[in-house]
Amino acid sequence: MTAQKRTENLQDVPIAITALGGEKLRDLQVKELQDAVKNIPSVTIQTTQPGFSQVYFRGVASGENANHSGPLPTVGTYLDEMPITTIQGALDIHAYDIARVEALAGPQGTLYGASSMAGTIKIVTNKPDYSGTYGAADMELNSVAHGDFGGVAQGFLNFKLSDRSALRVVGWYRRDGGYIDNIPGSRTYPSSGITQDNDEFVEKNYNDVDTYGARLALGIELDDNWTVTPTLMGQVQKVNGSFAQERSTAVDKKLQTVQYNPESSKDEWYQAALTIEGKISNWDLVATGGILNRKDRTESDYSDYAYFYDALAGYGAYFYDNDGDLVSPNQYIQGRDKYRRQFGELRISSPQENRVRLIAGLFAQRQVHYITQNYIIDGIADSITVPGTDSDIWYTRQKRVDRDYAAFGELSFDITDKLTATGGLRVYKYKNSLAGFFGYAEGYSGDKYDDEGNFIRDGTGVAGCNGRAPVVSDSPCTNLQGKTSDTGSIYKANLTYKLTPDWLVYATWSRGFRPGGINRRGGQPYAPDTLDNYEFGWKSQIGAFHFNYAMFREDWSSIQLSFLGENGLTVIRNAGAARIYGVEFDMGYRKGGLTLNASGSYNDAKITKDFCEYANTAFDCTIPSPAGDENSLLARAGTHLPITARFKGNALARYEFPVGGWTGHVQGAVNYIGKRRSDLRDAENTIKGQFGGYTTADFSIGVKNDVWRIDLYATNLFDSNGVINSSVQCLETTCGDPDGMSTTGGVFYDYVIRPRVIGLKIGRDF
């Protein structure tokens, strides 16, 4: 394991870790991060489609919607040495030729920094091997229930260039068959009487995905002490359709939806990194750095927003052409995002056999996110079209920059042969900014003026610019420009006692943090939030049996709560505190050909202060807003945090046996996740409804020898329809239609796990 940035045995690392090795990833049919998370009890994942997922540890979730202008994630994701977390989620890396996936639960801030407040996911690739030239090729054909066929073609080659150099080349292509049907539908907009249908978009199994990519890694031993490893990895993911089944009066079956506009995405990224490892005297030195460039294009339907605001408030009367005639208020979104991340880290480690051991380093990273969102209504008048766009009723063009600098260190001291004390420190500075334009044209801005016509508050549009020239290219002007920064430190303390060489107990206090940022509306900053973790656990190995256990309490302070506010804009407030009690366990038995394993987690995650619409330090919802607006109670103290179930668990049984000159296997696995709140706020949780608990079962049977391997598998064998996320296109109180004022009721989108997949895999080593 490399969880503590040095190589160690998993059972000797005094933190709660789940590690899935390369062989186990293959046995569990893991193709992407979502598949891996299914088998890690401490982790929850929310996704809307491939490439857009949020990861949570131990219930540390407040309902973040991954908005481009929202809070940073609470979980850091690393590809080898490089952080690859972006504001809208972790990269959706195809899992092939992976050495292991490590899940580090609890704050990892002293070694991994700001985006590891609640935990860290590490994806560790196989490195170039100097021992010889070899490779493998793997093929798969599969079929998804209620849907289409898919398949995978992938392989790698490890070239021995010399006794001190090697090149590893990996490539993959994967097609995932669709299973959501876009069925016929129509709706009439009340203000204009215009009827819209979706005939041109009706399609069965329309959410198919194509993923292809490659990785190159060159390993060079300069001498006996120094190694250089440059790597280059890239991937393209093309997604069609929607991954949600609709919950509305227009749909009466699962895995169906009614969408009125094109829906797709194309996610492209590449990562280049360089790692230099060596020794200065008997100290280890690692210098690593890299760049990550990512761009994505998205198309999504937004007609629910148009329909409900017309049906409930008559907004359709505002959308007309140059002749003054009403047009269809149908709305759709075309988005473009570009990410640029640079990172560098330098660290040194003292000899691990010494009684006193030190690891220390310097870290810096900078991420730039260029945001473009076109909210389009075809044919609208020039006067209500955002300047510089073809037919945008709303336009977002922003530049977000997140910077993070740190010095860190951990010092370990063997008090006795069995007792070790460790202290950690990270001193950090962050500086984040958000600037650009968002909103309507000047004639449709909704800005506020006093009785004498004087402008008193920035709104959402050209009028809110107040004549400020654009600071971001391709924007009409600037109505948003804010910065926030802070300097601080976080700490860690650990005591580890080895009862026997195969049994240790530990106690840890650690702190994680998440930087603050800028709200779009008003450009007001929000402050960092912090997580304090108090943990006790043990790791034991008794012959063929192991049992690892951790119990913890986490105090989450100044929570960055994000939710949809006026105009559907994400609002972030430091508006809460929470306390999480939990336990995690992992036990297993392996002897001969039999492997048994069970793991699980229990989280009691609740807010400890009332959550008010307008935050104040007293958490008193009778105190009005600074502008004098009436406050309201959104959730009482004691409300369970959303997204994460109280209990999540899995179990696996595998038996290997000889079949002639081959080795056969049969394997079964069961995964369970309990019910969850969909939203922290009581009213919105009632409207959307809770996510029900669900169970999945996987099965495989196969044979292998020294060259060939053949597997027949089924995932989600009993075709569960478990919901992992749910959304609406505007405020739940509007698109959810709690008052029943529209003729069609509310429209909700439930993102579900993949239906049953049956596949045949054939692989060959050479």
Q: Say how many CA atoms lie within 13 Å of 98 toward its Cβ.
A: 27
Strand partners, 364: 344, 405
The distance from CA 704 to its chain's CA centroid, rounded to whole angstroms, is 35
Do the bridges between strand 181-182 and strand 256-257 make them parallel or antiparallel, or are there none, so unpaired? parallel
Average pLDDT over residues 219-246: 96
pLDDT at residue 564, rounded to an integer: 65
Tracing tokens 């329309």 back to the chain, one arrives at 206
pLDDT at residue 455, rounded to an integer: 39
The answer to the question of residue 2 being in a domain is no
Closest CA to 296 of 332, 261, 339, 331: 339
pLDDT at residue 303, rounded to an integer: 96
Average pLDDT over residues 633-659: 94
Average pLDDT over residues 718-735: 91
Tell me the pLDDT tens digit for each residue of 469-521. 999 999 999 989 999 999 999 999 999 999 999 999 999 999 999 999 988 87
The answer to whether the CB of 386 falls within 8 A of the CB of 394 is yes
Alpha-carbon gap, residue 379 to 394, rounded angstroms? 14
Q: Say how many CA atoms lie within 13 Å of 695 toward its Cβ.
A: 7
The answer to the question of residue 382 being in a domain is yes
Alpha-carbon gap, residue 628 to 651, rounded angstroms? 55
Report DSSP letters for 317-329, one per residue: GG-B-TTS-B---
Alpha-carbon gap, residue 203 to 470, rounded angstroms? 42
Alpha-carbon gap, residue 617 to 412, rounded angstroms? 39
Tell me the pLDDT tens digit for each residue of 511-566. 999 999 988 877 778 889 999 999 999 999 999 999 999 999 999 999 888 776 66
pLDDT at residue 447, rounded to an integer: 46
The answer to the question of residue 1 being in a domain is no
pLDDT band at 275 (very low <50, low <70, confident <90, very high): very high
Tracing tokens 């190995």 back to the chain, one arrives at 541
Share of the chain above pLDDT 70, in %: 94
Secondary element (H or E) of residue 24: helix 22-27
Average pLDDT over residues 347-369: 95
The answer to whether the CB of 237 falls within 8 A of the CB of 94 is no
CATH of the domain at 285: 2.40.170.20
Tracing tokens 């979730």 back to the chain, one arrives at 61
Strand partners, 137: 155, 764
Return the amino acid letter for 253: K
Closest CA to 575 of 594, 558, 588, 590: 558
The distance from CA 530 to its chain's CA centroid, rounded to whole angstroms, is 19
pLDDT at residue 574, rounded to an integer: 84
pLDDT band at 443 (very low <50, low <70, confident <90, very high): low
pLDDT at residue 320, rounded to an integer: 95
Closest CA to 475 of 384, 326, 374: 374
pLDDT band at 406 (very low <50, low <70, confident <90, very high): very high
Distances (CA, A) of 529 to 96, 115, 406, 430, 578: 36, 11, 17, 13, 11
Least confident residue range of 282-291, 653-662, 739-748: 739-748
The answer to the question of residue 435 being in a domain is yes
The answer to whether the CB of 66 falls within 8 A of the CB of 87 is yes
Secondary element (H or E) of residue 688: helix 682-688
The answer to whether the CB of 704 falls within 8 A of the CB of 656 is no
Secondary element (H or E) of residue 534: strand 529-542
Report angle CA 373, 379, 383 to the nearest 5 degrees: 80
Tracing tokens 């393209």 back to the chain, one arrives at 236
pLDDT at residue 457, rounded to an integer: 43
The answer to whether the CB of 159 falls within 8 A of the CB of 130 is no
Tracing tokens 């982790």 back to the chain, one arrives at 43
pLDDT over threshold 80, residue 743? no
Question: What's the N-to-C CA distance of the chain in angstroms?
Answer: 28
The answer to the question of residue 4 being in a domain is no
The answer to the question of residue 3 being in a domain is no
The answer to whether the CB of 130 falls within 8 A of the CB of 221 is yes
Return the amino acid letter for 628: G
Instruction: Please tell me which residue, 63 or 305, carries the higher pLDDT value.
Output: 305
Q: Provide the domain limits for residue 309.
A: 10-765
Least confident residue range of 331-340, 720-729, 741-750: 741-750
**Helix/strand/coil percentages in the chain, nearest 5:** 10, 55, 35
Count of domains for the chain: 1
Going across the sheet that includes 75-79, the strands are 17-21, 98-105, 119-125, 75-79, 82-83
Phi, psi of 37 (to 5 degrees): -60, -30
pLDDT at residue 449, rounded to an integer: 44
pLDDT over threshold 50, residue 80? yes
Give CA torsion, residues 655, 658, 662, 665, to 10 deg: -10
Return the amino acid letter for 505: V
The answer to the question of residue 552 being in a domain is yes
Report angle CA 448, 453, 455 to the nearest 5 degrees: 45
Alpha-carbon gap, residue 193 to 233, rounded angstroms? 52
The answer to whether the CB of 43 falls within 8 A of the CB of 103 is yes
Return the amino acid letter for 584: E
Q: Is 487 exposed, middle or buried (0-12, 13-18, 19+ CB in 10 A)?
A: exposed
The answer to whether the CB of 559 falls within 8 A of the CB of 573 is no
pLDDT over threshold 70, residue 176? yes
Least confident residue range of 83-87, 95-99, 329-333: 83-87
Tell me the pLDDT tens digit for each residue of 143-170. 999 999 999 999 999 999 999 999 999 9
Strand partners, 140: 152, 761
Closest CA to 32 of 146, 153, 174, 166: 174
Alpha-carbon gap, residue 137 to 255, rounded angstroms? 34
pLDDT at residue 203, rounded to an integer: 97
The answer to the question of residue 5 being in a domain is no
Report DSSP letters for 84-123, one per residue: --BTTB------SSEEEEEEEES--HHHH-GGGSSEEEEE
